[in-house]
Amino acid sequence: MQNELVIVLDFGGQYNQLIARRVRECGVYCEVRSYKTPLDEIKKLAPKGIIFTGGPNSVYDESSPHIGKEIFGLGIPILGICYGAQLIAYTLGGKVETCTVSEYGKTETFYNKHCRLFGSDPELPASAVSWMSHTDRVTVLPEGFTAAAHTKDCPFAAFENTDRNIYAVQFHPEVNHTQYGIRMLNSFVKNICYCKGDWNMRNYAQKTIEQIREKVGNGKVLLALSGGVDSSVACALLSKAVGDQLTCVFVDHGFMRKNEADEVEEAFRDWNVKFIRADASERFISRLEGVSEPESKRKIIGEEFIRVFEEEAKKIGAVDFLVQGTIYPDVIESGTGDAAVIKSHHNVGGLPDCVDFKEIIEPLRMLFKDEVRKLGEELGLPDYLVWRQPFPGPGLAIRIIGDITREKLNILRDADLIFREEIAAAGLDRQINQYFAVLTDMRSVGVMGDGRTYDYTLALRGVTTTDFMTADFARIPYDVLEKASIRIVNEVGNINRVCYDITSKPPATIEWE
Ligand code: XMP
């Protein structure tokens, strides 16, 4: 059975994904589509509601995205947000003008409790803070519309036409800064679109498992497992669907963290899945010896990874399906999301296109990261895998600055483990989004016991971020850093100095190489 659907028509707003995520948090399945989606396609999708996003343009710019009036005749409830609100006003005969005072940031907003949009939620107060970001505003409402909210500078901060089921808000309900914003979206999808809320990961798992079974039949399925969240959840799903028709290849390049390769293998031991651990660590390290330039390291690891994977795939023989861990943000960002292309983002350098297979299966293609995690929990994956922090494909090779040696790898593994243990002991492991140790190529003088030392400097890095595109350094309490530093210097040989990296991204990146 099809899920109820709400679609977000994207007019170029920076929050398009966030709106869809918020609607899904209300238990309603939501997809982001281009504003150019033909009307016939929208009719076929039969959404229970349509949301227009914001966008950077002015409705009066010739090049700005517009939409035909016909969409308002479909009888489907529509909510316009920011640019979407202005577009509704403009398209239906209202007036939009440049604000004398642009509104940006948190703004006291007064809601009309007798209107349908805000009146249907009794818990919504008559005034609260909303998040505004606009330089144009609606000055004359189209015929048949009434004001639903106002601010000091904006007489029509929200408006509606209940007869035509069209609603509009100038502010951004999807942003956390808007108090009650999620309640407003929830009220729109439940009280106006009449969605019941049938979207949850239990149903998704059941439905997807059935679909995979139907598609795969008796075919052979191959999955490159990295031990990261996405490939682990994809593996759990496939294993429940097709059991021993699935083979997972885990390429151990030797740059995993301490005990990590064993932990990944252990985690999948109880699953009904053929698990191949291709131990290629010697091969990788011998190719990397003497290489210090970061991009060369990445390239060599990427190439070698593909070679090992290909060799394993050939041993398995004719493969019918290859599983990819693509998730929804990748699909949205790539626009059309052409399923036949094997993307290189997924791991170290993408997957080989010379491995023979008939079709690609992307079971997480419509899920956001937080949903992938929920699905992982639903399928019974251990917390260790579900809540794993991101780990770069090239692993510790790009956390050893300069030349890689076996000795340095061991030093870094031990130091990194201590840092992770101390972060976990302080209960910070879910608050800090990524944290790790970096072995620099700098040595300095120290004193231990009564003797002089001349040893490596270790850097610790911890960041808070939601998107990993920008990040702030994590404010780890000094006593936690101190404990980690003391333990590292005492328990790991060859380190006599520990620094904490306090640069944000930008200007730095999260990884050092
Ligand atoms: P940077 O260092 O660019 O990293 O700020 C952003 C995020 O991406 C991760 N990262 C990688 N992930 N393959 C991956 O799968 C890679 O080659 C790679 N390089 C960086 C990094 O750990 C951080 O989370």
Q: Which ligand 1 atom sits closest to the C-alpha of 394? A: 17
* Residue 510 domain-assigned (yes or no): no
Decide if 454 is inside a domain.
yes
CATH of the domain at 66: 3.40.50.880
- Average pLDDT score, the chain: 91
Nearest to 10, CA basis, from 156, 174, 151, 144: 174
**pLDDT confidence bin for 341, thresholds 50/70/90:** very low
Residues 365, 306 share a domain: yes
pLDDT by residue (tens digit) across 158-208? 999 999 999 999 999 998 889 999 999 999 999 999 999 999 999 999 999
Give the rounded percent of residues in the chain with a pLDDT score beyond 90.
73
DSSP 336-388: T--TTSPPSSSSSS---SSS--SEEE-TTTT--HHHHHHHHHHTT--HHHHTP
260 and 369 share one domain: yes
Catalytic residue list:
82, 172, 174
Q: Given this model, what pLDDT does residue 467 score?
A: 73
Neighbouring C-alpha atoms within 13 Å toward the C-beta of 339: 13
Domain count, the chain: 3
Q: Which domain holds residue 86?
A: 5-192
Same domain, 340 and 289: yes
Helices (H), 4-94: 16-25, 39-45, 83-91
Residue with tokens 């959840």: 233
Q: Which atom of ligand 1 is nearest to the CA of 393?
A: 13
Residue 81 has pLDDT above 90, yes or no: yes
CATH code of the domain covering residue 310 = 3.40.50.620
Burial of 25 (0-12, 13-18, 19+ CB in 10 A): middle
At 354 the pLDDT is 59
Tell the residue nearest (CA) to atom 22 of ligand 1.
392
In the reported structure, the alpha carbon of residue 392 is separated from the centroid of ligand 1 by a whole-number distance in angstroms of 5
Distances (CA, A) of 337 to 34, 46, 327, 328: 12, 21, 10, 9
CA of 510 to the centre of ligand 1 (A): 7
What is the pLDDT confidence band of residue 215, given thresholds at 50, 70 and 90? very high
* CA nearest ligand 1 atom 14, residue: 392
Domain shared by 404 and 366, yes or no: no
In this predicted structure, which of 52-56, 80-84, 345-349, 371-375 has the lowest mean pLDDT? 345-349
Our mutation pick for probing the ligand 1 site, out of 401, 511, 512, 513, counting the most ligand atoms within 8 A of Cβ, is: 511
* Nearest Cα to Cα of residue 220 among 318, 362, 360: 318
Instruction: Report CA dihedral (135, 139, 143, 144) to the nearest 10 degrees.
Output: 80
Residues 327 and 370 sit within 8 Å (Cβ to Cβ): no
Q: Would you say residue 339 has pLDDT above 50?
A: no
Measured in degrees and rounded to the nearest 5, phi and psi for residue 138 equal: -80, 125
Q: For the ranges 122-126, 140-144, 252-256, 337-341, which has the lowest average pLDDT?
A: 337-341
Q: What is the pLDDT of residue 176?
A: 85
User: Once rounded to an integer, what is the mean pLDDT over residues 342-349?
Assistant: 35
The closest of 276, 257, 256, 255 to 265, measured between CA atoms, is 276
Question: What is the C-alpha separation between 161 and 148, in angstroms, rounded?
Answer: 10
For the cut 90, the answer to whether the pLDDT of residue 483 exceeds it is yes
Record the pTM: 0.80
Q: How many CB atoms lie within 10 A of CB 314?
A: 13
pLDDT beyond 90 at 57: no
Q: Bigger pLDDT: 270 or 315?
A: 315
Q: Are residues 186 and 206 in the same domain?
A: no
Give the pocket of ligand 1 (CB within 6 Å).
Answer: 347-348, 390, 392-394, 434, 468, 505, 509-511
Question: Which of residues 386, 415, 443 is at a domain's end?
Answer: 386
Q: What's the pLDDT band for 337 if we cut at 50, 70, 90?
A: very low
SS3 letters across 41-64: HHHHHCCCEEEECCCCCCCCCCCC
pLDDT of 50 strictly over 70: yes
| CA of residue 218 to ligand 1 center, whole Å | 37
Indicate the residue among 192, 223, 250 that finishes a domain: 192
